[in-house]
Structures are given as C-alpha cells and as structure tokens.
Structure 1
Amino acid sequence: MGWLWAIIVGFVLGLLAKAILPGKQHSPLWLTTIFGIIGGIVGNAIARAVGIEATKGIDWGRHALQLGAAIVIVFLGDMLYMAMRGNKRRQRA
C-alpha cells in the first residue's frame, strides 16, 4: 500500500509542479509522476533534517518542502529530457 500512495502523491506533486512552473513542460505524464515521487522523497529527507518529520495534525511544512523539491526536480528533469530528446532527433537526421 505504501507504493500506491507514493505513486498517487508523486502524480499529484508532479502535476502541481508542472502547473506552477511557467511555460510548457515537455516531459510525459509517467516521467512527471516519477519526478514527483523523487520530489516527495527529497522533501521528506529535508523535512527530517530540519526536524519537522512528524507533527500533530497536517504536516504543512513537510508538504511545502515536498512541493518545492518536486518543482526543482520537474524543472531540471524536463530540461534534461528535452536535451536528450533533442540529441536523439539530431542523430536520426
């Protein structure tokens, strides 16, 4: 059940990150979900390092860190995706 939640949260984080970033992102939905999952993991690690690992109620700080990490990872991952995709088009021609 943990993996299912990771996929769902990663999907939501990835879509939110894509919506927040300006311009068009070209990465496919499955890759955006993976970027969101990675952002969630990185955000949790940062939250644990800062000391907001577990609080009473909703962990808004942890969620904000997860979203921030997802935004950075979606941005960088989309740049890498487009660079690799562009290189493949040049090699075919």
Structure 2
Amino acid sequence: MHVVLVNYTAPLQEIDYALPDHAEWLAKHYECGHFLASGRRTPRTGGVIIARPMSRGKLDAILATDPFAVRHLAQYEVIEFSATRTAPELRALNEAIPR
C-alpha cells in the first residue's frame, strides 16, 4: 500500500481553481480501484491519498496525471508500507494474511 502526502506548492487560490479537475481525477481512480481514501490535510497545506498495493512505477504514473501535478501546483511524497494489521473492514488489504 501507499500513503501519498500531497504538498501544495502554489497559493490556495490556484489550488481552488484546479480543485474541480482534481476531484474528477480522484473519482476516476476510485472507480478504477486505485485509491482507498483521500482528503485535505489540516492545516490546509495539501492532502493525503491512501492507494491500494501496486507497483511504485504505476503509482508514479497515476500521480503524474493529477491536475495538481500537471499544473505544477503540488509535490508528492510517497510512503510505501505493507499492511500487516488492519481493522476487520480492511482485512482484504492485509498483506500478512495469505490468500
């Protein structure tokens, strides 16, 4: 799995202008099954995306298509981890449970 920290590099006015396109991009990747959760950081300096397990290359390619990235409004920090303990609702994502 991956935790993606989105860090804004532009003023919030520019972020807000691109937000509808970013929301559409998020919706597309939820539909494809790539993302599990996302939201704004507090304070509003960026966002967080939790992505399903996938290759780092695939995730980087997906992030490169985010309107925030295309417009150079944000940078991304990707933290990869293996989920070995989860709430029951996330059992299917627990990488320690053999399938």
State the TM bucket, normalised to the shorter chain: 0.3 to 0.5
Greater RCO, CA 8 A, separation 6+: 2
Question: Higher strand proportion, which one?
Answer: 2
Question: Higher helix proportion, which one?
Answer: 1
Largest Rg, 1 or 2: 1
